[in-house]
Structure 1
Amino acid sequence: MNRIISYIKRNKVKSVVLLMLLVAYYFCLPKQLFKDPTATVITSENNKLLGAQIANDGQWRFPQNDSVPEKFKTCIIQFEDEYFYKHPGFNPISIFKAFKENITSGEVKRGGSTITQQVIRLSRKGKPRTYLEKLKEIILATRLEFRESKEQILAYYSSYAPFGGNVIGIDAASWRYFNRNSNQLSWAESATLAVLPNAPSLIYPGKNQERLLVKRNDLLKKLLENKIIDTLTYKLSIAEGLPQKPYPLPQTAPHLLQKVAKNHPGERVQTSIKSRLQKQTNETVKNHYNLLKQNEIYNISVLVLDVKTRKVLSYVGNSPTDVAHEKDVDIIDKPRSTGSILKPFLYAAMLDSGDLLPNTLVPDVPSQFGNYIPENFNKEYDGAVPASRALSRSLNIPSVRMLQNFGLDRFHHYLKELHLKDLKYNANHYGLTLILGGAESNLWDLCKSYASLSSTLNHFNENSSQYFTNEFCEPTYLASEEIDFGKKTSDKTLFDAASIYLTYESLKEVNRPENNESWEFFDGSKKIAWKTGTSFGFRDAWAIGTTKDYVVGVWVGNADGEGRPGLVGVQTAAPILFEVFDYLPNSDWFAKPYDEMQEVSICSKSGYRASVNCEETKTTYIQNSGLKTEPCPYHILVHVDKNQQFQVNSSCEDISNIESKSWFVLPPLMEYYYKTKNPFYKTLPRFREDCMGENAIFMQFIYPKENTKIFLPKDFDGNTNELILKIAHSKPETTLYWYLNETFIGTTKDIHDIGVIPKIGKHLITVVDALGNEANRYITISE
């Protein structure tokens, strides 16, 4: 050390110059050797290539891969630089031989460059091949050897060497020329690629095939002579043919590739996609597309999520249609009309808030809400239907009535908590149509919401009846990303576990289309909670299903919004849903969350908590919040004679002959339709004529609805058809008196239908019964 200090003091100028040279040497090599744009590459969860998007400069240059396949590594070293692991970045002997040969020939015939020098030359694009540049390469190569390991230098070379045309790097070359991953190449294929960077023009199909073959076979012979391969391998290798026309790169998940390219441009991204499931789903979508396009339905999207990890397992953004039908549009995240797909959320919200029990009877009668007149898909009415059955059958009128009773703002709040990003307006903007498709959402958000509900139920049962604070989180398509569900808490995140479980119990029932006898695609052995939806005008068809482990979502329609007859969720989307579920492992059904449930007595006929008047009851589990629901309002205690033919009281019958009987009684309009579907329904007996006092009288219009505009068509003879007025009375045997604009038009008894031909304009219909009860309705007859 003293000698060095002494030398520096005696030779200050030399020391400064030397120091400057050392500093220059240290900083002569750029920190980042290669700044070329790279392709965006996505792989499956087991690292199989799903697709790639070409780099911005038009080159198939994959992101650098630090792992070089062993066969290719051996071949490239044997062909380019046998002493690679021994030299410091340059080989003096090779340089001397090259210099001598070039001097003798009078031109540059041989470079004598090592792999390290070639890496430097590749990084310094466009530099002339002069002796000065060669000197610079040597200096930079030695600096690179100091900075990087030999393996890293090989990785640089393998990733940035040219392989003919616009193919750069071993990974891209392997797929373009052999249609497989580079670590799956044979010795012959590896040798073919190893000789290409030295003369990349040899790869062009139909050109220089003999020269390429000679180079490849010479390298294989060298491998044999160096005892790297045996004689049999050599003979088999030289018998292999050369690559011809380049293969297109795989496009197994093209729309996911688009999404990744936006968020991770130029990167190699390992996704959570299961390659086999993705290919199976692609095939299913292709098959159904070929059928649906005959009805001019061109677009399909499918999303599969893992409930437990919240990872994307399959992503089909669109069907294999053409450019004219928007084949490149990723529909999974595009807003579409929801149809009935939000109904389970309303059902769960009403259970969660204690406004409903699973089988509570809800009205299914003709209904008008201002100017809004909802209809069931089958144009029929049940009068009253259990709420769970209304959900599984996707009945519209009960859903709208439930929403009105629950409150539009309350339900809108629940939907906002689900983080449906396309729900952009306030509740009043959507009105009651919110539950039937008045709002928009997308397949990603809807599948995310179903997965969150399923996960809530799973976590509750697996973690001592606790919830997680971040249950309603975004799914991920990144294999490396782990979802943080937050902290455990005793407080529910949105819906309690019991409400979710009871909702799924309803969705487990098959909501078959009315009058559809064939249902071949439903496998009853699989327990799946699923729901379909169809938007107004037959523009969007949905089907979303969940098991304990998976969520599958399907959208079918036209990207341009064109509606088509037959574009119904249960007919077009549901078959795809169940085919995809067939590819997934079977799941056990959700465990019942007993800690959020109570065992109570329920009225068998009404679904309400049993009152003292309910004769037929059953014991079942309901959600804890359901304890605050009212007892059954439809069972009343009536007094009848011994034959149960008439109602009686003490004014007309001896008390000893009076029987007290519990009777199931629905309001007149509900009763009118209910008894057509329920033949065992018994209408409340009327009072015997000699009795004083009667029950309250009710009557309701069946048709027309309030403030309806009506057009009366004409028959073939030119005569105007009658307008048929209908009313339901709690005592059908009562005589009703009908008036049109205070003009008497007739009476009815038992069946209260009457025909009339009003003039064009506004009219008042008045109905009075024999006891003086009155009902009124305004209508308008239009031209």
Structure 2
Amino acid sequence: MFKKIYAEPKLLYSDLLCLLLLLWFWFLLPSKLFLSPTSYVLDASNGELLSAAIAKDGQWRFPLADTIPEKFKQCIVAFEDQRFYQHPGVDVLAMARAMQQNFKAKAVVSGGSTLSMQVIRLSRKESRTVGQKLIEVLMAIRLEITNSKTEILRLYAGNAPFGSNVVGLDAASWRYFSRSPESLSWGEMATLAVLPNSPSLVHPGKNSQKLIKKRNDLLDKMAALKIIDQETANLSKLEPIPGRPLPLPQNAPHLLQRFKTERGQLEIPETRITSTLDYNLQLKVSNLLKRYQNRYRANDINNIAALVLNVKTGTVQSYVGNIYQPENKELQSHVDMIKAARSPGSTLKPLLYASMLNDGFILPRTLIPDIPTQINGYSPQNYDLGYDGAIPADRALSRSLNIPAVKMLQNYKYQRFYDQLKKLGINTLNKAADHYGLSIILGGSEVTMWDLAKTYMGMARTLNHFNDYQGRYNPHDYDAPVYIQQSAKPSLAQEDAQINGILDYASIWNTFNAMEELMRPGEEGLWEQFSSSQRVAWKTGTSVGSRDAWAVGLTPEFVVCVWVGNADGEGRPGLTGVDVAAPVLFDIFRELPNGKWFKTPKHHLKTMRVCKQSGYKAGEYCKDIVEELVPPSAEKTGICPYHRLIHLDRTATYRVTDDCESTTMMVHQPWFVLPPAMEYYYKIKNSDYKLLPAFMPGCTDPGNNFVMEMIYPKPNAQIYIPLELDGARGKVVFNVSHRNTNAKIYWHIDEAYVATTKNFHQLALSPTPGRHTLTLVDEDGERLVQSFTILSKEKD
């Protein structure tokens, strides 16, 4: 009875001990064997390696590959562990043989470790004692229980040392042969298979004869095992062994760095990604930019970048953030100019044009003033320093005129445009709208190439989706481009499309048509005669001080954005968008497929009667009327303000009033009349412009014809007069226009007579600092009075 009582606890203790040993054995293997940092690796969409960066611990260690080349499997099993597929993690026969060999040699000449045991040893990095060997045996058996043979080979191939700071088959293949493991020959794979056995002794470039012998012995062994035939083995022995490690490809280093920065935000666990980049296009664009950079370096222009987006998929096709030249640190080639915030020059003008069409401020060809302008001390200038008087909005855009753009923004309000830019995805506007003011349309803000290209891609995607969503809008059209293949978003369901978009189809379509009218560099406007030429909507931009040169272009399939300049912001003469960025843009487009142009969104356009001369909605007195396709919001625009009815005498020679001509005898005739300042320049460039007839002698002007207008300075202008080169005080050129080309004007400043002008009404004067009143009187007593201020020093 007592024996029975004491036997039961012993049985319980033994069961508990067995259970504890079983649990210890099961949890002996950590959930993740290898914790060492891995290299960042970027592959193209076809799997080709584009760029890689060394791991944090200074090792070239690629993330674990999903598959292992069959050649490596056969080579490594033949060399290290022939019974790999038969044993449970420990090869008793191999261990017994190793012990016998070591005993006879009185030294460790063979380890008898299986590949499973080597995986454990690589993960633990413990000293090689008998106790550690026993633990490796147990862990190897445990490893085999929950992992397939293929998975164990993957762990070995990804973590085995291959000499120097090279870890893993993938890294070794690129470092020693500059190719992927899948493309290696039998001789090359056999070379790599023997390296982990003694990487410190058998190193490519050192002890080459020992490496050759080990490789050749393995090839003969594989021939004996019938894995390869002897002829293949003999030919493989003739292959050269690698020398010193080769540099890894650096064909997209800036995108790789971008991924390193954004990996946490993207919530991607691995450090290797398959990108959306087109491998061949990436290399072509890189080489193209290198050629242009070599050319521009003669003018001390050091940096160039380009971004190519696929409109239909919303993905990045090519990403060259700079010409990567780490050996020349002064070039700052490490700076990713695609992410850099720079002045956009004129590249935002199409966005203003589209926004004004969308919101009913203008029609596509509405006349915009192009005259000397001063707004609160701000005086924009056109690039050619000339004036058109008035110019259609689409022509102002295609010629990239600054003054019409500022006039348009003054009408649209810069606060509204600021909000619109944010909606479109310009994320660098980190100050209040008042900080930028009207200068925002001429490059007074900063944008990144990423945001700029994204915005134009959004517009192109919107127009492409017109038929897809039956006139509705995809709210994700302006989402950021995707550069990781797995991140591509599914298309939007029809029921999720929205009624309104940021910009409507019609406004975008009109904008792209206006952008297509630009004359291409080097083609003198004749490109349209060649049917093979690709239709491209494009825009250039140049920042103040010639620091940044831009070109952005698009088709229904692609958006291309190019930036040229210096990363440190140094300006250079001749650094303009049309001269240095546009040629690169069109060379890139020549590498892209030539597709069809955007379809006209006919169901979203309406036909409107438009005054041909003014581009406004046709009014009662417009004689020459055309029908145009315009956005629905065109109904909000005003009637033509420049056509009015004038009254002529019975001979239709002079203007008259009812004071000097009977109304029954008057000839009433519509006339296109611009304000005097606009007329002053417009008539020079438009020979068909007809000036208003003079009043009949004896007739008095009723005084509402605005016969005079000050061109410069504008009312309440603040003017600083600089010193001339000889130290003398300079002068201000006052300029006024008069409807009567033969009129005399009497000039007075502060009621003191100054001079008389006839026909050409300009005076160079040097008023004293302070506030002054200018009074102009013509022969008929018409007066023009306005104030201006001369500054004693230049405003900050």
Q: State TM-score, norm by structure 1.
A: 0.94
Point out the more displaced range, 604-613 or 483-492: 483-492
Aligned-pair CA distance for 1:204:
3.1
Q: 1:66 to 1:726 in 2, by over 3 A?
A: closer
Structure-2 residue corresponding to 1:184: 183
Structure-1 residue corresponding to 2:443: 437
Q: Does 1:780 align with 2:787?
A: no
Structure-1 residue corresponding to 2:267: none
Q: 1:20 to 1:521 in 2, by over 3 A?
A: farther
- The structure 2 residue matched to 1:493, chosen from 491, 494, 501, is 501
Structure-2 residue corresponding to 1:286: 290
For 1:549 and 1:108, locate their aligned partners in 2 and report how far apart those are by CA, in whole Å.
66
Per-residue CA deviation, residues 591-645 of structure 1 (Å, 9 max, x unaligned), is: 1112221111111111111122211111121000001211211111223356643
1:33-432 aligned within 5 A: 33-128=33-128, 130-264=129-263, 267-321=271-325, 322-432=328-438
Q: Does 1:586 align with 2:583?
A: no
Q: Which amino acid aligns with 1:284?
A: L
Per-residue CA deviation, residues 407-429 of structure 1 (Å, 9 max, x unaligned), is: 12111111121232210112111
Q: 1:742 to 1:653 in 2, by over 3 A?
A: closer
For 1:101 and 1:235, locate their aligned partners in 2 and report how far apart those are by CA, in whole Å.
30
Please give the secondary structure, in 2, of the residue aligned with 1:492: coil
Q: 1:751 to 1:669 in 2, by over 3 A?
A: same
Aligned-pair CA distance for 1:580:
1.3
On the 8 A contact 2:769/2:790 being kept in 1, the answer is yes
Task: Tell me the percent identity.
Answer: 45
Q: Which amino acid aligns with 2:560?
A: V
Point out the more displaced range, 406-415 or 313-322: 313-322
Q: List gaps (5 residues or longer) in structure 2.
A: 1-6, 265-269
On the 8 A contact 1:470/1:485 being kept in 2, the answer is no
Per-residue CA deviation, residues 653-703 of structure 1 (Å, 9 max, x unaligned), is: 577764332211111000000011111111011121144555623211123
For 2:132 and 2:230, locate their aligned partners in 1 and report how far apart those are by CA, in whole Å.
42
Q: Which amino acid aligns with 1:614?
A: C
On the 8 A contact 2:324/2:334 being kept in 1, the answer is no
Please give the secondary structure, in 2, of the residue aligned with 1:663: strand
Structure-2 residue corresponding to 1:536: 544
How large is the Cα RMSD of the aligned pairs?
Answer: 2.5
Point out the more displaced range, 704-713 or 561-570: 704-713
Point out the more displaced range, 684-693 or 642-651: 642-651
Structure-2 residue corresponding to 1:663: 671
Aligned-pair CA distance for 1:384:
0.2
Aligned-pair CA distance for 1:346:
0.9
On the 8 A contact 2:41/2:272 being kept in 1, the answer is yes
Q: Which amino acid aligns with 1:79?
A: F
On the 8 A contact 1:364/1:670 being kept in 2, the answer is yes
For 1:725 and 1:135, locate their aligned partners in 2 and report how far apart those are by CA, in whole Å.
99
- The structure 2 residue matched to 1:681, chosen from 682, 689, 714, is 689
Q: Which amino acid aligns with 2:316?
A: V
Q: Which amino acid aligns with 1:397?
A: I
Per-residue CA deviation, residues 6-34 of structure 1 (Å, 9 max, x unaligned), is: x9998333322222221111111111111
Per-residue CA deviation, residues 135-190 of structure 1 (Å, 9 max, x unaligned), is: 22211111111010000000011011111111111000000000000000001001
Q: Which amino acid aligns with 1:158?
A: A
Q: Does 1:701 align with 2:710?
A: yes
Aligned residues: 773
Q: Which amino acid aligns with 1:57?
A: D
Please give the secondary structure, in 1, of the residue aligned with 2:397: helix
Q: 1:667 to 1:92 in 2, by over 3 A?
A: same
Aligned-pair CA distance for 1:111:
0.7
For 1:520 and 1:302, locate their aligned partners in 2 and report how far apart those are by CA, in whole Å.
26
For 1:152 and 1:475, locate their aligned partners in 2 and report how far apart those are by CA, in whole Å.
35
Q: Which amino acid aligns with 2:249?
A: P
Q: List gaps (5 residues or longer) in structure 1.
A: 1-6
Please give the secondary structure, in 1, of the residue aligned with 2:249: coil
For 1:309 and 1:192, locate their aligned partners in 2 and report how far apart those are by CA, in whole Å.
43
Structure-2 residue corresponding to 1:570: 578
Q: Which amino acid aligns with 1:371?
A: G
Q: Which amino acid aligns with 1:131?
A: V
On the 8 A contact 1:8/1:15 being kept in 2, the answer is no
Q: Which amino acid aligns with 1:566?
A: G
Structure-1 residue corresponding to 2:558: 550
On the 8 A contact 1:40/1:264 being kept in 2, the answer is no
Structure-2 residue corresponding to 1:12: 12
On the 8 A contact 2:512/2:537 being kept in 1, the answer is yes
On the 8 A contact 1:470/1:484 being kept in 2, the answer is no
- The structure 1 residue matched to 2:485, chosen from 479, 482, 488, is 479
Structure-2 residue corresponding to 1:611: 619
Aligned-pair CA distance for 1:382:
0.3
- The structure 2 residue matched to 1:727, chosen from 708, 711, 736, is 736
For 2:525 and 2:157, locate their aligned partners in 1 and report how far apart those are by CA, in whole Å.
55
Per-residue CA deviation, residues 308-367 of structure 1 (Å, 9 max, x unaligned), is: 221111111112352123111112112111211111111111111101000000000000
Structure-2 residue corresponding to 1:4: none
